[in-house]
Amino acid sequence: MNFKSVFLAVFAGTALIVAALLVNARRPAVERNEPTPALAEATGKCAECHRRETSAIVVEYEQSRHAQKGVNCLDCHHAIEGQPSVEHKGFVIARALTSKNCAQCHATEYDQFARSRHAAPSWASVNGPKDFSPDQLAFGERYHPTWVNRAPMSIGALEGASAVTSGCNACHAIGKPNADGSFGTCTNCHSRHLSSVELAREPATCGQCHMGPDHSQLEIYGESKHGALFAAQRPHMNLRADPKRLTTVDMPVPTCATCHMSGLEGMKVTHDTTERLSWFLFAPVSTKRPGYERGQTDMKELCLKCHTRPRIDEFYVRAEDVVVATNNKVKATTAVVATLRKDGFLTPQPFDESIEFDEFDLWHYYGRTAKHGAFMGGADFVQWHGNYELLRNQVAIDEEAARLRASRVAPDAGAARPAPIAPPAPTAR
């Protein structure tokens, strides 16, 4: 390379750098990842330092309604009554935040959330009543009698602590009793720093927990006409619309949030996701909820913003037929297993014999899926993932029961457990 070409190369390189700097200076502060003057004023040293330490947090905060309205880092991060605090870079901040920090400014949302099944019953289902203070227990039992002061589902103890901590409780901590007296967290749906309504209206947000064979709401929704239309029309929808003024112009197609929470066209927004329900669909044998009439009236009021009365009434009649039919199938099969246990062919302990897993799958996977599919428009879940599997499992359990009875004499009550039995036919899932 001669002198002239080296000079040209250096010159061109320098010119590029200078040009890049000039362009960069003209980009808005946000794009340069520097605090805007307004942000710096609102959040002071927290944002300045955390822009270097954990930049994504500041970027997300900056996109939030909170940043626009001047709600700053310390408004959330300062310790309130009942919360331990720590010294932090010249500030005092709470060691951990809960829904109580949000409730300072959003008391209505908190009160609705706290009386929903997302709060106390959710934690008790996995962990029983041991983590609740007497006040929290009394509060939960007032809204959900017998659902908080109860034994946890036994499967958690059998799987062990690490499975419960990183599995069950990752979902069920939405209602964890906090040491400061409050329940749960708001950030599962809104995230910590975006504090977004748009995010909460996305099916995938609810689907973090509401998925899989035991509560396949996300998959059912995806299959439904609503879900297919939402996927196609997503770019035309205004998911950021103010909840107090949400209309079908913003969202002509419902998501999970619309049906279970939104205040569409004059209805009230609710953080009590229990309010619009009429059946305990998750139960082995479904019964009507105490608020059956009201739950159905409220949900139908919502459907009627977009549909006509005769179609919705017919839809509910058909869905309730599926509930009744599923109840009968589940009752018939659980009776077979209960009789085996009574006659001494099974130990009293849960989940130590394979037929007990078949029985559990019968209602927990297939029965639930059939019922949920019927109410949320998932035909494949009513049929192939639901009723077909119910039939197959019922046959497998009947066969197994006959085999057990034929192969051994029932041991005396209280005697040692019978010899291990052959595993059941593999079930497809």
Instruction: Indicate the residue among 345 and 366 with the shorter CB distance to ligand HEC.
Output: 366
CB of 194 to ligand HEC, least distance (A): 9
Q: Which long-range contacts (CB under 8 A, 24 or more apart) does 104-107 make?
A: 104/75, 104/80, 105/71, 105/75, 106/186
Tokens 């996927």 belong to residue: 231
CB of 24 to ligand HEC, least distance (A): 23
Instruction: Indicate the residue among 196 and 393 with the shorter CB distance to ligand HEC.
Output: 196
End-to-end CA gap in the chain: 67
Please name the residues in contact with 181: beta carbons below 8 A apart, sequence gap of 6 or more.
Answer: 82, 100, 133, 135, 136
Cα 73 versus chain centre, distance: 27
CB of 368 to ligand HEC, least distance (A): 6
CB of 245 to ligand HEC, least distance (A): 9
Instruction: Indicate the residue among 155 and 410 with the shorter CB distance to ligand HEC.
Output: 155
Instruction: Indicate the residue among 205 and 333 with the shorter CB distance to ligand HEC.
Output: 205
CA distance 402 to 340: 10
CB of 153 to ligand HEC, least distance (A): 4
CA distance 349 to 366: 23
CB of 240 to ligand HEC, least distance (A): 6
Angle at 105 between CA 101 and CA 108, to 5 degrees: 105
Instruction: Indicate the residue among 147 and 388 with the shorter CB distance to ligand HEC.
Output: 147
Please name the residues in contact with 7: beta carbons below 8 A apart, sequence gap of 6 or more.
Answer: none
CA distance 338 to 352: 14
Instruction: Indicate the residue among 389 and 400 with the shorter CB distance to ligand HEC.
Output: 389
CA distance 242 to 201: 12
Tokens 């500041």 belong to residue: 58
CA distance 53 to 89: 13
Instruction: Indicate the residue among 137 and 256 with the shorter CB distance to ligand HEC.
Output: 256
CB of 291 to ligand HEC, least distance (A): 10
